[in-house]
Amino acid sequence: MATYYSEEHEWLTVEGDTATLGITKHAAEQLGDVVFVEQQEAGDEFEKGGEIGVIESVKAASELYAPVDGEIVEVNEALADNPGSLNDDPEGAAWIYKIKITDAAQLEDLMDLDGYKALIG
């Protein structure tokens, strides 16, 4: 199991050809209080860089962008009833999607934790 980070402040924990995707604690702190999460549905396919959802906070709306090509296999339905959990546990229970990765080579374009820490300073 390995965790990768994108410049858009998303994390991706990969096991085999599937991954859990969410936003980083840094992103949650920048957003402020999350009030709504717009998610796609299981079965939706996407390409790296494509918009795969929107997180709305009291301060702003922020798009989620796919860090790799893939397909959504599971949506965290709990976020619909409790979007604020993204503030409480963004890198744990408040994951957004479970995805099937269709081009694992794209993981090489992402950062490890040290690289991400350097990015956010």
| C-alpha pair distances (Å), 106 with each of 1, 16, 75, 81, 111 | 16, 14, 22, 33, 11
- Residue-wise pLDDT tens for the chain (121 aa)? 999 999 999 999 999 999 999 999 999 999 999 999 999 999 999 999 999 999 999 999 999 999 999 999 999 999 999 999 999 999 999 999 999 999 999 999 999 999 999 999 9
For the chain, give the percent of residues with pLDDT over 70.
100
What number of other Cβ atoms are within 10 A of residue 84's Cβ?
15
Two structure tokens written together for 42: 């299981």
Extents of the domains making up the chain: 2-120
pLDDT at 52: 97
Alpha helices, DSSP H, located in 1-121: 25-31, 78-81, 85-88, 113-120
CB 104 within 8 A of CB 17: yes
Q: What number does CATH give the domain 2-120?
A: 2.40.50.100
